[in-house]
Amino acid sequence: MVSMIGKVLKNLFSRPFTTKYPKEKAKVSLQFRGAIHVDQKNCIACRLCEINCPTGAIIVDKEKKFAVVDRSLCILCGLCAEVCPVNVIWFSNDYETSDKKKENLKKQLPGPNPRPKKKK
């Protein structure tokens, strides 16, 4: 009982752990899987990402050499990025990817975007 009162008093006078979202953006780690990106210029359309996607969220057009992802099906597992032989698929740290219309979740993946810089 005494230890609980101590914890209550400690938390009463300390800063809150949460942020004031959306005024303050959350700080995410480099390993965070947010929005998926593909460098379409360097994609070789091998379809390994499509084959290994457990939910079938990625469809690759081999003739036009571009990928379409259905973000309503994507579970952000990262298997597509792991199997890509030319390393053109990555996840940004953008976590605000929701949309009111389901049609907007299925779209061609964006082209070359800057990858997040790794801290040394």
- Tens-place pLDDT, residues 104-116: 777 655 544 445 5
Q: Which CATH class is domain 26-108?
A: alpha beta
Q: What is the mean pLDDT of the segment spanning 51-75? A: 87
- Give the model confidence (pLDDT) of 29-43 as tens digits: 878 888 888 888 888
pLDDT at 91 over 90: no
- pLDDT for res 117: 53
Strand runs labelled E in 5-119: 36-38, 58-61, 66-70, 89-91, 106-108
- Flag whether the pTM goes above 0.75: no
Q: Record the tokens describing residue 57, joined without a space.
A: 């969220």
Q: What is the mean pLDDT of the segment spanning 96-102? A: 80
- pLDDT for res 66: 80
- Three-state SS at 93: coil
Q: Record the tokens describing residue 31, joined without a space.
A: 């390993």
Q: Record the tokens describing residue 53, joined without a space.
A: 């996607």
Domains of the chain, by residue range, sit at 26-108
pLDDT at 5 over 50: yes
